Amino acid sequence: MIKLYGHPISTCTRKVLCTLNETNTPFELVTLDFAKADHKHAAHLARQPFGKMPALDDDGFVLYESRAMSRYIDAKAGHKLTPSDAKLDALMEQWISVEVENFTPNAMKFVYHTVFQRAQTDEVLAKAAEGLEASCSVLDKALAGKTYLVGDQFTIADICYAPYFEYAIMNPQAKEIFTKHANVASWWGRVSERPAWRKTAGRA
Ligand SMILES: N[C@@H](CCC(=O)N[C@@H](CS)C(=O)NCC(=O)O)C(=O)O
């Protein structure tokens, strides 16, 4: 059975938890204690050499990087969250890259500032707001007339954005950016109410 080493509040752990929940994959969550820096100890460094969480152990197969874990879990579950069409699959990958490259570095500034008590300067937040606005504007155009990022199918791409939206929306400035983009706001309404995400975010 899959053992996931992480923490239920960690954004990267949440991507993997959501994938496990969406695919109804049995798993055990082994909670690492941030306060004791469990993720920096030798036992965890053997699973994740960069000292980050999460890491996964599937009967001896050890994997790190949350997006790789989501792909692995979904592949084992029969690709429920991955389009079979080559073009849609490529679009899923495109949106995951945009999440990593353009969206998350900006969204995380607001998450640190508001949720994880790591205050950011006004200058940093102003720059992050510009980046978030640019990403949301691109996402908004792409989501016009669509249920999820690649169309009707909910995919790993949607999951990858969810942890950052869930937290960043707690910041008024980030919330304003999200809500003024109507297609982004309604997409987030659909994603955030999925039972698997509600369970992941502790709202079930
Ligand atoms: N690219 C990695 C990033 C992992 C990561 O940054 N994890 C955070 C928690 S969400 C962490 O371990 N932070 C604690 C630290 O860096 O010491 C992944 O997607 O798994």
Each residue's pLDDT tens digit, 84-141: 999 999 999 999 999 999 999 999 999 999 999 999 999 999 999 999 999 999 999 9
Please state, as a whole number, how many other Cβ atoms lie within 10 Å of the Cβ of residue 49. 10
- Residue 50 CA to ligand 1 centre (angstroms): 9
Tell me how far apart the alpha carbons of residues 204 and 200 are, in angstroms, rounded to a whole number.
8
- Residue 68 CA to ligand 1 centre (angstroms): 13
Residue of 31, 38, 8, 34 lying closest to 21 (CA atoms): 8
Angle 165-66-179 from CA coordinates, rounded to 5°:
10
What pTM, to 2 d.p., does this model score?
Answer: 0.97
- Residue 1 CA to ligand 1 centre (angstroms): 23
Instruction: Name all residues whose Cβ lies below 6 A of ligand 1.
Output: 10-12, 39, 51-53, 65-67
SS3 146: coil
Q: Tell me which residue has its CA closest to atom 16 in ligand 1.
A: 52
- List the domains of the chain with CATH numbers: 2-76 (3.40.30.10), 86-197 (1.20.1050.10)
Which amino acid belongs to residue 87? K
**pLDDT of 196:** 98
> What is the DSSP secondary structure assignment for residue 155, as one 8-state letter?
-
**pLDDT of 136:** 98
In contact, 189 and 131? CB cutoff 8 Å? no
Detail the DSSP E strand segments found in the chain. 2-6, 27-31, 55-58, 61-64
